[in-house]
Structure 1
Amino acid sequence: MRLAKFDLLQWLTPDVQEEFLARMYRRHYAAGQPVYVQDAPGNEMFRLISGTVKISVLRGDGRHITYRLFESGDCFGQTSLVDGEPRPQSTEASNAVEVDVLSKMDFRWLCDRYRVFDRAISRLMAAQLRAMAQNYEGASLDSLPVRVARQLLLSRTMQLRTAEQDDSDESQIQMSQSDLAAMVGASRQSVNRVLQQLREKHVIEISYGRIDLTDLRALSSITTQ
């Protein structure tokens, strides 16, 4: 079984995996529904079963900066259970989502009972911190076309992992230009100009809420420029 990048199971022994999953319960979110909001108390952590969840931070100027999409198997929401502080960011269902939920009480019980669980939480937080640092590095050093191309390819990879698609659909990304702009740290207008340039070169096609990657080789070559 392939485990997601931020799946806590990869650092747990089989017996603790079983205990962890047994203490969770299922919850559903509709597209656009928040899983939790920034600055709210944190009383649960989550493991994504299906769908995608975007994570964003509200800046002082009122703008939301989206910097990651979680895929099936990813665990998130543990930070506030560790430090007792309010949620440091917001998470929202990008589409219909199923998650397994672990309460704060069960989280603490697992940490106290199993040292391997406590260590696994540290590994999870370290992995997410490294990913965030890589995102910021790319945003500060790479040109906007490179960031857009890289995010389109990453989103395609994540979508293929989280949905059963036939060959005709494998290069279609369900994503708004606003979400793409937030994830690459640029304005929607700037991202739209890059997308139009890619469309003119027949690298992509643009529809409402969807981007078709028609030339994956050309798109990949942009990421190395």
Structure 2
Amino acid sequence: MKTRAEPLMQALAAVPWLQASGNAVVERLADASHLQHLVDGQTVATRGTQTSHLVVIASGTLELSMTNAQGKRHTTSPLGKGQVFGLIPLLDGSTLIHDVCARGASSIVVVPRDAILSTMEAQPTLAMQMLLLLCQRARHNYEVLAGLSLLPLHVRVVRLLLDLSSSHSSLRIHLTQAALADMLGASRQSVNLELKKLERSGAIAISRGDIEILDSGQLQAIAGS
């Protein structure tokens, strides 16, 4: 018979840096957390508000976005199972950076801030794993920013496809071309042109709302150019 904490522990253990922190960390955080089920379109968090917890995606997908004063909306890469959001505001006490909503039926694990902070003190491995994660994110963000000004669009498209595939552990990416263009800061028409070229070369297959990677080797070669 499953205990209440078992599904929570499984969801937390799917987060690589939490798993690397050790079973004691996962068990302690699971004991303090709760599971929440979401319906499609349900708001999870609002930009500019304070947060008192870390959110771990247990299943489904969460969409992160920002809207400026003129009403223009920018969507970032969607988050799937084993990914988290709210870490930086949780640590520095600042407000949330994104609006967050569920894309399809999803479930999340809500981990209280106090549990995170007390576990960091009791289990230093958690603090070290968080530092490593933040370093990885900083490097990734630097590469993205550099790519916006230095890399041609076709390379940026390929790198984003590979990044999305890796983060969701799937060769099939559930994303519209409009959302992809939004993430790249490019027009839908120009992104569509690059995707069509990749499709003709046999690297990807495009269907409504989906992009499937067929030849990752070809994409890796382009991404490294």
TM range, normalised to the smaller chain?
0.7 to 0.9
1:55 counterpart = 2:61: no
1:125 counterpart = 2:134: yes
Q: Distance in 2 between matches of 1:82 and 1:160?
A: 28
Give the SS at the match of 1:154. helix
Counterpart for residue 164 of structure 1: none
Partner residue of 1:25 out of 9, 22, 34:
34
Counterpart for residue 190 of structure 1: 190
Q: Indicate conservation of the 8 Å contact 1:56/1:89, yes or no.
A: yes
Between Structure 1 and Structure 2, how many residues are aligned? 214
Distance 1:94 1:150, change over 3 A: farther
Counterpart for residue 149 of structure 2: 140
Q: Shift of the alpha carbon at 1:25?
A: 0.9
Q: Distance in 2 between matches of 1:214 and 1:12?
A: 35
Distance 1:118 1:199, change over 3 A: closer
1:55-100, Cα deviation, whole Å (9 max, x unpaired): 3444455433334343422232122222222102233334432221
1:101 counterpart = 2:110: yes
Which runs of no fewer than 5 residues in structure 2 stay unpaired?
1-9
Give the SS at the match of 1:40. coil
Identity within the alignment, %: 28
Runs of 4+ in 1 over 6 A off after TM superposition: none
Distance 1:54 1:135, change over 3 A: farther
Q: Shift of the alpha carbon at 1:220?
A: 3.3
Q: Distance in 1 between matches of 2:100 and 2:141?
A: 15
Give the SS at the match of 1:109. helix
Give the SS at the match of 1:220. helix
Q: Shift of the alpha carbon at 1:11?
A: 4.6
TM-score, normalised on structure 2? 0.78
Q: Indicate conservation of the 8 Å contact 2:77/2:164, yes or no.
A: no
Partner residue of 1:156 out of 138, 161, 165:
165
Q: Indicate conservation of the 8 Å contact 1:8/1:75, yes or no.
A: no
Counterpart for residue 37 of structure 1: 46
Q: Distance in 1 between matches of 2:73 and 2:94?
A: 20
Distance 1:48 1:145, change over 3 A: same
Distance 1:184 1:205, change over 3 A: same
Corresponding letter in the other structure for 1:140: S
TM-score, normalised on structure 1? 0.78
Which runs of no fewer than 5 residues in structure 1 stay unpaired?
162-170
1:141-195, Cα deviation, whole Å (9 max, x unpaired): 211111112222332333435xxxxxxxxx4322111221122222222212222
Corresponding letter in the other structure for 1:175: L
Q: Distance in 2 between matches of 1:155 and 1:26?
A: 25
Counterpart for residue 211 of structure 2: 211
Give the SS at the match of 1:96. strand
Task: Let me know the Cα RMSD of the aligned residues.
Answer: 2.9
